[in-house]
A and B are shown apart, each in its own frame.
Chain A
Amino acid sequence: MKRIGVHEAQPGQVVVQAVFGSAGLALLRPGSVLTADMISRLSNYGVATLSIEDDGAEVRPIEERLRDLDARFAGHEQDTLMRRLKEVIAAQMREGAGSGA
């Protein structure tokens, strides 16, 4: 999921969180696919940002993400709990990458 400004929204993107207008009405349900009309209506309703699905093109390679993981956990190499936690996350990253998610 990522949060974008309405002006950056593109037709075809999928909204992942309900969008509310300034009058408190729910304008879009999660799962709605944006159209050009919807986008211009949203800005008319005063909506500034939306949460949309990340498109796959932005997913970084698994090696790079594992390197980041190592960097985040740096300094905790001797800590048993942190080592186990890192293993859990790394395994989930690899599984996710394997299934093409």
Chain B
Amino acid sequence: MLDKTQMRARVEQTVNIATIPQIVSKLRTMFEAPSMSAIAVGEEIAKDQVLAVKVLKLVNSGFYGFRTPITTITQAMVLLGFDVVKTLVLSASVLDILELMNQSLAGLWEHSLGTAKAASAIAGRLNMANPEEIAVAGLLHDLGKVIIAQRFPQEHAQIRETVTRRNCLQIDAEREVLGVTHLDVGMWLLKKWSLPPKLVYPIAFHNNFHPSRDFADRTAVVHLADILARAKGVGYAGDNRIPAIDFGAWHLLHLSFDDIEDICLQLEGDTGSRMIA
């Protein structure tokens, strides 16, 4: 098995983010300035055309439910807030990989979108603050799976093989093959990117809920959203099983099964497209 420190180092060097740290550190400086305006930050992102297009593509992926497409970064800044746009800026390159690896990660994008949509619906139902941030955590909750596939292709193949052979959850196969899971791997990268804990925690603990941890409410939302997307058969999360709903998370959210019914109706159903095992 690989050494954990070396693994973390390999994860932290992930992806072609050459232009990104520069623009993000610049954005952070701008954000701290009292006179910062959404327009100024939007203009800065818009200077990098490729990046701007990627961010707009994500914003318009459907999970925010805006009726007309958002066509400028400034608009996105105003509607979604700085933290969401920053997160999308950072993750744009990871989602690129997702598109590139559509063979070995088939369905993960749909699963991620479904989870974002479910998270947004749950947060809306509970009148939680900043539902956009919760939705983006839903979108990126399986970030670690993408990183494992890209940075540890051999182990990824072993994980796939284990899942197929044992029909187990992918997370259990990860633990067996890597000694860590996509939750750890995702957290390493998000921390490296200095994203705020309110976004990191719901992703890093979506499958390991604890009521006294910070941002337990958001974590509970992402946890449940993941399960609802799987239950509905939206996309493919890498396995054909579903983790059980955590009782602590369920009690914290305090939803009824009528709520669940409504939320599930809002999800893209299993439209019959075959799962890829």
Contacts and interface: CB of A to CB of B under 8 A. Distances in A.
Contacts of A16: 62
Interface residues of B, number: 41
A92 B265 contact: yes
A3 B211 CA distance: 37
Contacts of A85: 227-228, 231, 245, 257, 260
Contacts of B61: 17
A53 to B, nearest CB: 9
A60 to B, nearest CB: 4
Interface string B212-223: 000000000000
Contact of B272 (A48, A65, A71, A79): A65
Please tell me the size bucket of the interface on A.
35 or more
Contacts of A93: 269-270
B109 interface: yes
A82 B244 contact: yes
Interface string A45-81: 0001100001000111000010011011111100101
Interface string A5-43: 000000000001110111110100110000000000000
A81 B50 CA distance: 45
Contact of B269 (A23, A26, A68, A96): A96
Interface string B58-74: 00111000000101000
Interface of B: 49-50, 52-53, 56-57, 60-62, 69, 71, 99, 102, 109-110, 227-228, 230-233, 240-242, 244-245, 247, 250, 257, 260-261, 264-265, 268-275
Interface of A: 1-3, 16-18, 20-24, 26, 29-30, 48-49, 54, 58-60, 65, 68-69, 71-76, 79, 81-82, 84-86, 88-89, 92-93, 96
